[in-house]
């Protein structure tokens, strides 16, 4: 094009457009993507995404003298689309400056497909902007029920980020109280909650972060007599337990009820994480058929742990939960991810279902509830190593 032919796109403000649309027959064209349109749109607008404008506009607006008001999110895509229309011979195309962002800021009305309140649409906008999430995905998060075993090193960051994401119900199992030495890594707790139960300290932080989240506290230790009742109401369980007996108990119960478990552990500068999806991938016992004797499995209070390890692995746990709830991406099913903090290195190992697994193998028989988590052939089962 020569400079004299350069297209200059006319613009009007959202307020001007709104007033014009009340009384005229102008055609209102929205050139964004479908998930944005579902989240918020202007009444009476027609959606044609940018890639389709040239091919679909003539069917939508056959008369090239028809006045067209065009908008997008911020004004950029619509300006480009307006140039396209004008180069196709449309005589009267006007861009709404600032797009639907400016429209909303000027207090003008929008419609939405979503069940989110206006406050939620604002709070979760960084989620709903993602095509893989959208308002439908945010609704899934708000309807999800996730149980956290432990509100300690791993549970703390997981709880914070799942609450931030809008997970609708978060259960917290922890019978411990906050100790000052926890504050080196359990960032959900604080000085003023030292000496109080971890579950209520976590609840307080969650409620101050996101009132959309319902928190349920389980201020007792899980055992074979109560675990099925506790986990049955949840969609996903996050294992941040501090001892082996609970991990094996959780495994046996979660396979029984077909609940996925996101499981991580940390020590020193090392972390491990995997996701156990009953019968689709291996279970915890497929990976670790027998627990190590106590002298070969030191705890963090004996060995120490770099505080950030809790955050690293806890966030990876939250990441797994997000993928499972939203049904996007690839969860760590059949994959064990190792993280080593001194070199900042990730290693991925393959985990297979064990054909002889006594819990999820093809020849496994249903064990009585009283035997969940037990090892009939292992007499010194973690004797004296039950965590606090």
Partner 1 sequence: MPSVKIPPVLRQHTGGSTDVDVAGANVGEVLQALVDQHPDTKAQLFSEDGELNRFVNVYLNDEDVRVLDGLETAVKDSDTVMILPAMAGGSN
Q: Are 105 and 122 within 8 A, CB to CB?
A: no
Task: Give the nearer residue to partner 1 in terms of CB position, either 157 or 291.
Answer: 291
Degrees to nearest 5, angle at CA 59 with 57 and 62: 85
Residues numbered 128-157 forming contacts with partner 1, rule: CB under 8 A = 152-154
Site track for partner 1 across 295-324, x = CB under 8 A:
-xxxxxxxx-x-------------------
Task: Give the nearer residue to partner 1 in terms of CB position, either 141 or 305.
Answer: 305
Minimum gap (Å) between residue 301 Cβ and partner 1: 4
Minimum gap (Å) between residue 229 Cβ and partner 1: 24
Choices 87-95, 136-144, 285-293, 364-372; region in contact with partner 1 by CB under 8 A: 285-293
Task: Give the nearer residue to partner 1 in terms of CB position, either 100 or 337.
Answer: 337
The residue from 244, 276, 306, 320 that contacts partner 1 (CB under 8 A) is: 244
Task: Give the nearer residue to partner 1 in terms of CB position, either 104 or 317.
Answer: 317
Return the bridge partners of 272, or none.
Answer: 265, 338
Q: Give the number of residues in contact with partner 1, rule: CB under 8 A.
A: 43
* Residue 287 in contact with partner 1, rule: CB under 8 A: yes
Q: Are 253 and 227 within 8 A, CB to CB?
A: yes
The maximal CA–CA distance of the chain, rounded, in angstroms, is 91
Residues numbered 178-197 forming contacts with partner 1, rule: CB under 8 A = none
* Residue 159 in contact with partner 1, rule: CB under 8 A: no
Residues numbered 69-128 forming contacts with partner 1, rule: CB under 8 A = none
Q: Are 246 and 372 within 8 A, CB to CB?
A: no
The residue from 267, 341, 364, 367 that contacts partner 1 (CB under 8 A) is: 267
Beta carbons within 10 angstroms of residue 28's beta carbon: 18
Q: Look up residue 382 and give its two tokens.
A: 């973690």
Task: Give the nearer residue to partner 1 in terms of CB position, either 196 or 388.
Answer: 388
Minimum gap (Å) between residue 159 Cβ and partner 1: 16
Q: Are 224 and 370 within 8 A, CB to CB?
A: yes
Minimum gap (Å) between residue 353 Cβ and partner 1: 10
* Residue 243 in contact with partner 1, rule: CB under 8 A: yes
Site track for partner 1 across 328-367, x = CB under 8 A:
--------x-x--------xxxxxx---------------
**Residue environment code for 152-174, b if the CB has 16+ CB neighbours within 10 A, otherwise e:** bbbbbbbbbbbbbbbbbbbbbbb
The residue from 195, 211, 292, 329 that contacts partner 1 (CB under 8 A) is: 292
Q: How far apart are CA 196 and CA 223, in angstroms?
A: 23
Q: What residues contact 27, with CB distance under 8 A and at least 6 apart?
A: 46, 60, 61, 66, 67, 68, 69
Q: Cα 345 vs. chain centroid, distance in angstroms? A: 24
The alpha-helical segments, DSSP class H, found in 1-98 are 14-23, 34-39, 53-60, 76-87
């Amino acid at each position: 094009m020569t400079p004299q032919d350069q297209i200059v796109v006319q613009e009007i403000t959202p307020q001007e457009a709104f007033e014009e649309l009340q009384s005229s027959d102008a055609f209102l064209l929205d050139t964004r993507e479908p998930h944005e349109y579902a989240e918020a749109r202007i009444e009476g607008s027609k959606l044609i995404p940018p890639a389709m404008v040239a091919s679909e506009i003539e069917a939508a607006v056959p008369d090239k003298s028809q006045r067209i008001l065009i908008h997008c999110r911020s004004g950029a895509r619509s300006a480009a689309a307006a140039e396209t229309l004008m180069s196709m011979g449309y005589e009267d195309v006007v861009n709404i400056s600032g797009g639907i962002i400016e429209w909303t800021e000027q207090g003008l009305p929008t419609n939405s497909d979503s069940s989110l309140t206006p406050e939620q649409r604002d709070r979760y906008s960084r989620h709903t902007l993602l095509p893989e999430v959208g308002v439908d995905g945010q609704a899934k998060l708000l309807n999800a029920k996730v149980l956290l075993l432990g509100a300690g090193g791993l549970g703390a960051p997981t709880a914070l980020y799942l609450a931030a994401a809008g997970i609708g119900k978060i259960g917290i199992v922890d019978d411990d109280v906050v100790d000052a030495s926890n504050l080196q890594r359990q960032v959900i707790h604080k000085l003023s909650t030292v000496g109080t139960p971890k579950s209520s300290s976590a609840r307080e932080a969650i409620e101050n972060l996101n009132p959309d989240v319902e928190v349920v506290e389980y201020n007792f230790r899980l055992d074979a007599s109560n675990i099925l009742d506790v986990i049955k109401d949840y969609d996903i369980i996050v294992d941040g337990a501090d001892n082996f007996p609970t991990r094996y108990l959780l495994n046996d119960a979660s396979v029984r009820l077909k609940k996925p478990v996101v499981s991580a552990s940390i020590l020193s500068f090392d972390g491990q994480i995997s996701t156990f999806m009953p019968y689709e991938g291996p279970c915890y016992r497929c990976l670790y058929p027998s627990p190590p004797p106590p002298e070969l499995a030191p705890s963090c209070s004996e060995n120490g742990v770099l505080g950030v390890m809790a955050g690293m692995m806890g966030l990876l746990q939250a990441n797994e939960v997000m993928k499972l709830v939203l049904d996007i991406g690839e969860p760590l099913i059949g994959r064990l991810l190792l993280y080593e903090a001194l070199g900042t290195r990730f290693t991925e190992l393959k985990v297979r279902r064990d054909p002889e697994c006594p819990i999820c193998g093809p020849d496994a028989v249903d064990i009585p509830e009283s035997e969940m988590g037990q090892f009939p052939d292992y007499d010194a089962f973690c004797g004296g190593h039950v965590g606090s």
